[in-house]
A = this chain, B = another copy of it.
């Protein structure tokens, strides 16, 4: 997606350790006009019947909620922390976060995903693929259909995308970064 790639080149900052900071428009400050264009593009890429969008807190939520307007479906977001508000029957999956350097148990209430659902996963980043594998695991527990995964930025030089596509998941990333260093960001698509 041209608009997103241009924005990454303009405002993205590559830091040591393979970190791409896009916090000025994607995951700390949120450019809602850009989110809308991304939502339209996700709809174009996934014309299939979708009944729910699934994402994970926190950065995926805004992107998923704006995109959901183009699908006319609710968003469910997996939670990373246990609150006393979360009760009843739950799907859970353990996810390792390289960003936070620890394991999370992600949780979705069984009330909100069923075997009848055709689900699109939306998230801001795909790198090692841990979060997406956890979400896919929850859909599998629910017997729901995973229609695909719409990702804003994929780090193509990390293994997540390859792993998920090898499992047969239809992964569509709006910008795939093939290589990057502090001076250059090179896109694969």
Contacts and interface: CB of A to CB of B under 8 A. Distances in A.
A23 B23 CA distance: 28
Interface string A40-63: 000000000000000001100111
A149 interface: no
A171 B29 CA distance: 23
A70 to B, nearest CB: 10
A76 interface: yes
The CB with the most chain B CB atoms within 10 A, among A30, A69, A76, is that of A30
Contact of A69 (B32, B58, B85, B99): B32
B65 A77 contact: no
A24 interface: yes
Contacts of A27: 85
Contact of A58 (B21, B58, B74, B76): B58
B109 A77 contact: no
A132 B32 CA distance: 22
A60 to B, nearest CB: 9
Q: Which among A77, A99, A100 has the highest number of chain B CB atoms within 10 Å? A: A77
Contacts of A109: 23, 28-29
Given A83-B99, A84-B17, A68 B32 contact: yes
A102 to B, nearest CB: 10
A111 B29 CA distance: 9
A159 interface: no
28 contacts: A15-B87, A19-B84, A23-B109, A24-B111, A28-B79, A28-B86, A28-B109, A28-B112, A29-B76, A29-B109, A29-B112, A30-B76, A30-B77, A32-B65, A32-B69, A32-B75, A35-B65, A36-B69, A57-B58, A57-B61, A58-B61, A58-B79, A62-B64, A62-B65, A65-B66, A66-B69, A81-B100, A83-B99
